[in-house]
Amino acid sequence: MKKKQRQADIIKTLRSSREPISGTALSTMYNVSRQSIVQDIALLKASESSYNIISTNKGYILVEPPPRTKVFKVYHSHEEIGDELYTIVDSGGMVKDVFIIHDIYGKIQVDLFLATRADVDAFVMGLEKKKTSPLMKLTDRYHYHTVEAAADSILETIEKRLKEKGYLIMGE
């Protein structure tokens, strides 16, 4: 196994563990010396991604920053729902919800949790299959999405792309 692949696998292993993992356990998993694991951890901490790996007396823990969120007010046609959602997930965002502010009923919100094109496809097909109307129909196509991403730069990219496509409503 090559060093870069092993380092990627170490991150996956640490990310999926709820408990610290010892250097010895990692060296056994990846069939390398404990010293190689120590070097891998040092390189991962110093990498461009600068992983926040904490060394404890019980082993290594990956501490990930909490995701960032931003609310986008958007406007588009029924036919553009898929494209709008693809724009968000293709840019690295996860659409947590959709909500509207109705003049009579106030805020109406529905959780979505769309993170991939497959999620978007299933959502759009559900709208078509059940012949149901999206919430935006109640507010003349205006609606909001809470979007989650790993970094502010991803949210900035999403905002830029939504604006380029004419979906984003600015200044509110």
Between CA 8 and CA 87 the distance in angstroms is: 27
CATH topology classification for 3-62:
Arc Repressor Mutant, subunit A (1.10.10)
- pLDDT tens digits for 30-59? 999 999 999 999 999 998 777 899 999 999
- pLDDT tens digits for 95-118? 999 999 999 999 999 999 999 999
Q: Is 102 annotated as a binding residue?
A: no
The DSSP annotation for 102-159 comes to ETTTEEEEEEEEE-SHHHHHHHHHHHHHTT---GGGGGTTEEEEEEEESSHHHHHHHH
Terminal Cα-to-Cα distance of the chain (whole angstroms): 52
Residue 98, helix vs strand vs coil: strand
CATH class assigned to 68-164: alpha beta
Is 75 within 8 Å of 141 (Cβ atoms)? yes
Is 123 within 8 Å of 114 (Cβ atoms)? yes
Q: Is 78 annotated as a binding residue?
A: no
What's the predicted TM-score (pTM) here?
Answer: 0.67
Amino acid 170: pLDDT: 82
Domain map (residue ranges) of the chain = 3-62, 68-164
The encoded tokens of residue 93 equal 């965002």
Q: Is 76 annotated as a binding residue?
A: yes
Structure confidence at residue 65 as a pLDDT band (50, 70, 90): confident
Structure confidence at residue 80 as a pLDDT band (50, 70, 90): very high
Of 68, 81, 67, 75, the closest CA to residue 124 belongs to: 81
Is pLDDT larger for residue 95 or for residue 66? 95
Q: Is 145 annotated as a binding residue?
A: yes
Average pLDDT for the chain: 93
